Amino acid sequence: MVLGNGTQISKFLLLGLSDEPEQQPLIFGLFLSMYLITMFGNLLIILAVSSDPFLHTPMYFFLSNLSFVDICFTSTTIPKMLLNIQTQSKVITYEGCIAQMYYFLLFIQLDIFLLTVMAYDRFVAICHPLRYTVIMNPILCGMLVLISWVIGALNSSLQSLMVLRLSFSTVLEIPHFFCELKQVIQHASGDTFLNNIVMYFGVGLFGGVPLGGILYSYSKIASSIHRISSAQGKYKAFSTCASHLSVVSLFYCTGFGVYLSSATVHSSYSSATASVMYTVVTPMLNPFIYSMRNKDIKRALKKFLWKVSIKVQLVLVLKKCL
């Protein structure tokens, strides 16, 4: 592979979370467990929403999309990390690194956009309840998700294409467990000023603007809830957005925590470890937050699992009869 000013790339090395061999089995077991929990939890949310007609509403439509994106998000990084530990290899090809970077950026942006759209949905539901079904119609909901995919794909393509213009050493060591855009740019040869400008502009535009939208939505929601006279009415209104508010707080707090830790701690391994919070832990906890704090999801999950158990029992009975 020849790029940039003619430098030939043979391989990239993902150094992972630790270079201690005795810690690798522990890391493998921990990340495999978190990955399976993430897959199982988010898949249950998708199946529960799709199987229950009562949950065919805009809020749960966006939630099922968020669960799908979280599955894709973790699948972009964790399987490669587990494979490298299992094969005792740190190698990722140049093409694989660019692809991983593209999909990581795409799905993290989709996470942000979907959380913003869900905040808007709660804003309409609480501040304009009589017009909710008119405003949040199926066409608008589908368009909001489609626009999120298009914007995410365009920005991810731009960021990835900008990396293609850079030159690298023959063997590049990345002190992370996946090809993070910032780490790749930092370890490139030559002038990376334009890449940094585009990267930070993207972070400000596609991270800061959605956050502003979320904060605006919840300021209006808080104002509307404050005007409700009864305590029961206030509790009911707040409970409809408590799960989403918890997920948003978890996502952005862990993201800001990683940023602050990378800015103050100069250890590459410490920065990589901190990034586990928003890349792995947050997608894993999202289904638990929604299932524990949402009665509709609880009921749908129980109903779905009951149907599955009945079908399994029927299959076992039929096998015995045959």
pLDDT bracket for residue 234 (50, 70, 90): confident
Q: Which residues pair with 11 in a beta bridge?
A: 171
Q: Looking at the predicted structure, is the pLDDT value of residue 288 above 50? A: yes
Q: What share of the chain is helix, strand, coil (3-state, %, to 5)?
A: 80, 5, 15
Q: Is 42 helix (H, G, I), strand (E, B) or coil?
A: helix
pTM of the model: 0.90
61's CB contacts (< 8 A; 6+ apart) are 49, 141
**Whole-angstrom Cα distance, residue 97 to residue 76?**
11
Beta strands in 176-228 (DSSP E): none
* DSSP secondary structure letters along 111-129: HHHHHHHHHHHHHHHHHSG
- Which carries the bigger pLDDT value, residue 312 or residue 7? 312
Mean pLDDT estimate for the chain? 87
* 63 within 8 A of 118, measured Cβ to Cβ: yes
* 159 within 8 A of 199, measured Cβ to Cβ: yes
Q: Which one, of 46, 40, 21, 39, lies nearest residue 78 by Cα?
A: 39
Amino acid 182 reads: K
At 24-52, the pLDDT tens digits run 999 999 999 999 999 999 999 999 899 88
What is the percent of the chain where pLDDT is above 90? 51
**Whole-angstrom Cα distance, residue 74 to residue 57?**
26
pLDDT at 267: 59
Residue showing tokens 């939505």:
217
> In this structure, what DSSP letter does residue 35 have?
H
pLDDT at 162: 94
Q: Looking at the predicted structure, is the pLDDT value of residue 2 above 50? A: no
At 174-226, the pLDDT tens digits run 888 999 998 899 888 878 899 999 999 998 999 899 999 999 999 999 999 98
At 174-185, the pLDDT tens digits run 888 999 998 899
Most confident of 57-66, 179-188, 232-241, 280-289: 57-66
